[in-house]
Amino acid sequence: MQPRIKEILSWYGSDNPGTLTNLARLLNHGRLAGTGKLVILPVDQGFEHGPARSFASNPPAYDPHYHFELAIASGCNAYAAPLGFLEAGARDFAGEIPLILKVNDHDVLLDEADPTQALTGSVQDALRLGCVGIGFTIYPGSARRLEMYQQIRAYAEEAKRNGLVVVIWSYARGSGLSRTGETAIDVVGYAAQIAAQLGAHIIKVKLPSEHIEQAAARQVYEKMQIPIATLSDRVRHVVQCTFNGRRIVIFSGGATATDAVVLDEIRAIQAGGGFGSIIGRNSFQRPRAEALKLLEQIMEIYQGKIHPSK
């Protein structure tokens, strides 16, 4: 095992050998195996945004098998999806790629000022499907956030007892925040800290902007002159907010963007010491050949290979 992987595993000293083995499986799979970096394909958007919005731009993606095949062919570390998508392919692709079961989900059929997520899968489902871990979304900033914190505490306890990895999607949103504030640097750093305190092994957050949402936080950022001018500065600060880099933090790929925009963001994550990306719409909404090319470039950046901006 590579020294970097041993170092990362040493950060999780309270976990049992089963959980550490599954975390090692994630870190030692795919093109980035042994580097300490992760690229995960997540496909919960069909539930979260609706099938047409998610898959019409690339119709083969309506088929759950398409996503297993894309994750495997591109050399991703893992594939994450809700119960239905994993059940539709777990047997056919058993053992070919680590799986993460997304155990809660939300839809956009009702516009909610304070969203929450329904429990749509279980730890037992994850074990039955051969998953290495569970994924769970929380919404810091929502009036219903405390309910979600309590739910993940219970899920995380059961998952860890059964040797599974806990991945928390920590997406700040709700009536407590402005729309701009959802990606503010102080809010994203806070959301990442909350996920770490809730026991996540891997934390997924959005890329932060330079905006500061909270007046009290602004005073500290200005007084202490915390560097946040560049995206790599902000990534570095979010990593610092997760136990000074002793938790794995990966960043959302966001809505579909041009290759140039995506690759510039990946360079900033790499330069800022981020652990990788979870790339959904920017992969499966492209034709397969284009997605494979983009994912290859992303992984080469995380491997330290030079891809200058054009």
**Structural contact between residues 96 and 72, judged by C-beta atoms closer than 8 angstroms:** yes
Q: Tokens 């998953």 belong to which residue?
A: 131
CA 210 to chain centre: 21
CA angle 33, 188, 140 (to 5 degrees): 110
**φ, ψ at 91 (rounded to 5°):** -70, -45
How crowded is the C-beta side of 288, counted as CA atoms within 13 Å? 14
DSSP single-letter state for residue 60: G
* Token code pair at residue 307: 């891809």
Q: Considering the candidates 37, 102, 204, 206, report the single residue annotated as catalytic.
A: 204
How long, in residues, is the chain?
310
Q: Tokens 């330069």 belong to which residue?
A: 271
204 flagged as catalytic? yes
Report how far residue 13's alpha carbon sits from residue 211's, in angstroms, rounded to the nearest whole number: 35
* Token code pair at residue 172: 């700040």
Report how far residue 119's alpha carbon sits from residue 296's, in angstroms, rounded to the nearest whole number: 34
List the catalytic residues: 204
